[in-house]
Every structure is written in structure tokens, then in C-alpha cells.
Structure 1
Amino acid sequence: MDDQLEEELMEVKQYTAGKNNLYQPNSFEELIIQYKKTAENNSKIIADTVFYNDEKHRMESARYLQSTITLKGEQYKVTIIASKVENEEQIKSILKVIILPVLALLVILLLVNRFMIRSLWNPFKQLLINIKAFNVNQDVPFKPVKTSIKEFSDLNNAFVDLSSKVKSDYKEIKLFTENASHEMMTPLAVINSKLDTMLQSNLLGREESELLTDMYKATSRLTKLNQSLLMLVKIDNNLLNDQEDILISKAIEEKLLHFQELILKRKLTIHLHLEPTTLFISQQLLEILLNNLFSNAIRHNIEKGTINISLTATQLIFSNTSTNDGLDEAKIFERFYKDTTSEGTGLGLSILKQICNRLQYDLKYTYDKPLHHFIIQFNK
């Protein structure tokens, strides 16, 4: 528009110089040219303005150029005004013509691209679903995915081969572990029996009796260790699946009677807060869980100590006093981790953790002197 105004100013000057008269624009030019005598020689000004359009009877925004010309020895201030409305409408039309088709093309491309990508990646997504669903404990083989895409087909075949090898190796390790643990029980039982018979004999001297007693303790500890490892194998292999609805509060009370003799022997005080809570759980896993919690709270307690048992619909908390300070929360549930003063196998809490993992419960340990807290958060 500024260029147009400059051209109009040049035409006005040329017309004035040639015709010796003031130039008046034609009606089709849609310009307004105003003249005013002035004594000043003003510099050229180009700026925005607003004017009243007589033909359209409205105020319009415009661009104007102001300068001075000389006619017959007199100085005139000339103002050329050009409406911006038509140019703005022209720009809008151009933008509509360009932008709307481009936007429509982008939308079409996005939709086509989305559809094609979804179609192309569907086999990969299904392959991921099958990988997540694959369970080495189950007899169901890995489910392959049919696809015409070579890369996904190669990946699928690789997973099929890998899953077959993993299942085969797993079965061999599982069978070996079960057989080894089972076969070890018989000679251990024979050794314990023979040692027990020898200890009851009156033919041994004091030194021999002490040696046999140490051997008896060692074999008993080895038996417990073997039983614990066998139990871990069963839990890992998900072999304890007899799930049913069990009233946990009643099971705790029954288990408390089972440990009553040990509790009385150590003169422990029991505080119970049991809400009637039912869980869908394996009876065998619950037995092992409660056995470990009770035995841990009793074995590591002090004489005339305290055991607090709290059960709600969301959690089970066992708290016990102890002469020991807090244990390492990061390592307490690791296999064979135990306090230096402990005579256990170091697998009790590991079994507890494994059961909670199998049941999808959260197990935490905290220490608030003098109480050690074991918190099981149920995940229904």
C-alpha cells in the first residue's frame, strides 16, 4: 500500500507540473486526495488513519501519505488516503484459499498416517501382549503372531525359539531342585535318627556326647535349611494354589494357641486387635505366613517381652520387642541375611517376602524403638 501511495504521489506531481492543475482521482481508483494551502514545507509522512467512507457510510481504517506540492507558486499540502479494507479482505481470501486446503490436507495425512501406522504396528503390539502373558510356570506355549512384515516375523520367530528354550531349561532346573531337595531329606532323616539313638545310649563319654550333640544340631539346622529351600521352590513355582475364602482373624487366634507353650515359656505378653477379615488365599501359604511371623516374633523377642498383633481389612501388623537395634530395611528380606546373634537359617523372612510377592501383598519392615514392625498391606 505504501508503494501504491508513492506512485499516486508521483502521478499527482506529474499531473500538476504538466496540466498546471490539481489532480483529482477517478472513481474506480478508490482513493481520496485532499489539498490544502500551506506555508510550511512539510516532510513526507506515511501512517495509519481512520476516515469516513461516503459511499459505504462507515468508518474505515486506511493508510495515508502526506507531502507538499507547488502549483502556480503556491504551496499545497496533499494528503492521499487509501482504504485498507479491500486489501485486508483480499489477504483474508488468499489466506483462506491457501490455509484451508493445507489444513484439510494435513488432517487427511494425519488420519491416513494414523491408520497406516496402527495397521503396521498391530502385530508388534500383539507380540508385546503375548510376551507379557507368557508364563514359564504354565504348560501353555508362547503364542506366535502371524504377520507379513519380515522384521516382525523374524522377531516373532526369535521369541518362539527363546521361549521354548527357556521353558525347557526351567523344567530341568525345577526337576533337579525338587529331586535334590527330596532326596536330601531321606539321608538327613537317617542321620538325625542315628544321632538321636546314640545320644540316648549310656555307653558314650562326656566328650563324645558333646561332639554328637553338635553334630545333631548341625544336621537339624541342615534339615530346616533344606525344608526352607524346598518351600521357596514350591512358592516360586506357584505349586501352592489351593485358594479359598479364609477368616484371617480366626486363623491367627488358632495359630496363637499353637505357639502358646513357647509364649508362656518366655513369659511374653500378647496384645491382639483383630477385625473380622476374610481373604481369598491359599491355606498352605497362610499357614507358612503365620508360622514365620509368630516364630520370628517369639524367637527374636526378649524375656517378658511384648508382641502386638493388629489386623484390619487392609493390613496385618506384627510388632515385637527385641534387644537388637533396627535391621537393614534394604537387605532384611534377602536370602540368608540375618543378624549376627541369630541361630536361624536366614530364610524365614525371605520366605515371608516370597509369599507376599506371590499374593501381590506389600511387605514392609520398620523399627520404632523398642518395637520391630512387620507390615503386610493387602492388595485386594
Structure 2
Amino acid sequence: MTLRTILKSWVERYFSDEEALILLVVLVAGFAAIIWFGRMLAPFFTALVIAFLLQGVVSALTRRGLPHLLAVIMVFLAFISVLLTLAFILMPLIWNQLVGLVQETPRMFASGQGWLDELQARYPNIITPDQMQSWIGVASREISQLGQRALTLSLASLGNIMSLIIYLVLVPILVFFMLKDRDVLVGFMLSLLPQKRTLLSRIWREMDDQIANYIRGKFIEIIIVGTVTFFTFAFFGLPYTALLAVLVGFSVLVPYIGAAVATLPVAAVAGFHFGLSEEFVYVLVAYGVIQALDGNVLAPVLFSETNNIHPVSIIVAVLFFGGIWGFWGIFFAIPLATLLKALIYAWPRSMHEREERRSLQAPAKE
């Protein structure tokens, strides 16, 4: 059997049905729109994520007897309050701490160089002077690059003020209308699809609850982990508490990798502030306990309704989609992996069911 025959048989099996072709067109058009127009439509996608997050609260209020419009207004006002709090209280605090950390980086580097000198003096046979110079050279280059990146970010941010204003205006407006006219918008999208959409409906049912649960669960996980980290570090008197708490909170977006990446700045700040003392060990132990509780208790509780995906698949999805779409690719890596898993299971199953129906109908026709 030739390769051409194999490919022809495969195409006839999976794409001979009209609905399969429509599904393929929808998937290709959706991914193409995100790849080519993702930056342009970023406010829309941001609003869509937030609306997904808030829709659960609106639905809960309507189930308690509140009118839909009143529930939408209450949830939207709460969202605006949180947004204003972040914009005028939390963000300036984080920015000031980030500026302070960048300014204090040379002192941290000098302190780290002193520790290396001390280690080299204690263990001259293990750490050679050449290794010392190599480590110091690498650290110097990283520090200089960090300063250049901070300066570039500061200059670039001056040109992005208008974009920020657009986000602050457009996103809330889009969120309000997505919540208020959800049924109308969903009905319009469904009207664009053909009446026969059994496969599409099956995949959508499998994905709808999982995406909503993932977005809400991830938001709750970020808030809980960040809050617990903030109070834990504040208890030990660690500087830059808000900045580190935000970093640790957002590190949960990238399973396995995020926790490892967030450990370095936490250890660096704690080591510079406390030195190699008991307090330094206590901070690292507390941070390890937070990560262990998040991975073994909090995440399983929040995402118990989400399909189990192998860790290797999660890491590959994070690397692939993060490389394509940056932050949003990382954020939606697990839902996109879940979508691919649903496609892999639902599409062949639908084809098998169609073949079984045809085999059952064939004797009846005879």
C-alpha cells in the first residue's frame, strides 16, 4: 500500500463528512485569526477572559432570583472597583518596589561576590579562581542586561500610555456588553454555523465547563497563593513583599516551571536581606510549604473537574503556545491542550459512530 493510498484513505475516513470539514474550517480560521490579528484584538480577548470569569458570579446571582440586568450591574461595579484598586493602589506599590529592587541589584551582586570569595577561601580545591572569574563575568553580564532591559521597558512604557488608556476604556465596555447580551452574542455565533453540528456541539460541551472552571480556578489560585505569600513574607520581614507575592502568585500560570523560576528571586532577596542565617532557611522552608500545598491540595481541589493531562503534555503545551502567543499562550496552554485532547477523542469517536450507523442502515436498505 503506497503513501498516497494511505493518505487518501485517511482523508476519506475523517473528512468525507460535511461536519468534519466545517470543524476543520472553524479551527483553522480561529487559529489564523488569533495568530494574525491577536495583537490587534488583544482588548477583545482580554475582555472575553474576564467575562468568562465573571459569568459564573452572574449566573449564581440570577439563580438566587435577581434579575439578569441587576446581577450584571452588581458584578460589573464590583469588577470596576477591583480594577481601580489595582490601578491606583497595588500597581504603584509594585512599581516602586520593582524600581527599588533594580536600584539595589548592584549591592546584591557585591554581596554575592563576597559570598563566592568566602566559599573559594574555604574550599580552594573545589572552587578555583578561574571558576570564580567565570561566575562573576556571567553575573556581571546578566546584571548589565537587566539594567538595559529595565531602561528599555521604562522608555517603551512611555509610548504605551495610550494603549493602556485604550485598555482601561475598551475592556470594561466590552466586558459589560458581553455579560449583558451573552445570549444574543452566543445566538449570533450559532446562527453562523450549520444546523447539523453534532460534532461541534459535543466538543463545545466538553470544553465549555472546563474552560470556565479553569479560568475561574486559576484566578482563585493566583489570589490565594499571592495573598498567603504576601502575609508569610511580611511575617518574616522580607523586603519587596508585594512584588515577590505577585511574582509567586502569577508563577502558578506555568505548572512546574513557574515555581522553579519564582524560587530564584525569592532566594536572592532573602539571602541578601538575612544572609546565610536561620531566617533565610525559614523563608525558603515557608516558600516550599506554600508551593507544596498549592500543588498537592489547592490545585487538585480547584481543578478537580478538569480533564487530567499528563505533565509532559502540559510542559509541551506551555512551551509551544507560549512561544507563539506569549503570556496568553501560557495562560491558555492547559485549555488548549484540553481542546486538542477533546478533538482527539471526539472526532474519531464521531467517525466511528457514523460508520456504525451506516453499517446498520445498509441491511435495512437491502
- Is TM (by shorter chain) over 0.5? no
Structure with bigger helix share is 2
**Higher relative contact order (CA closer than 8 Å, sequence separation 6+):** 2
Greater C-alpha Rg: 1
The TM-score by the shorter chain falls in which range? under 0.3
Give TM-score scaled by structure 2 length.
0.22
Give TM-score scaled by structure 1 length.
0.21
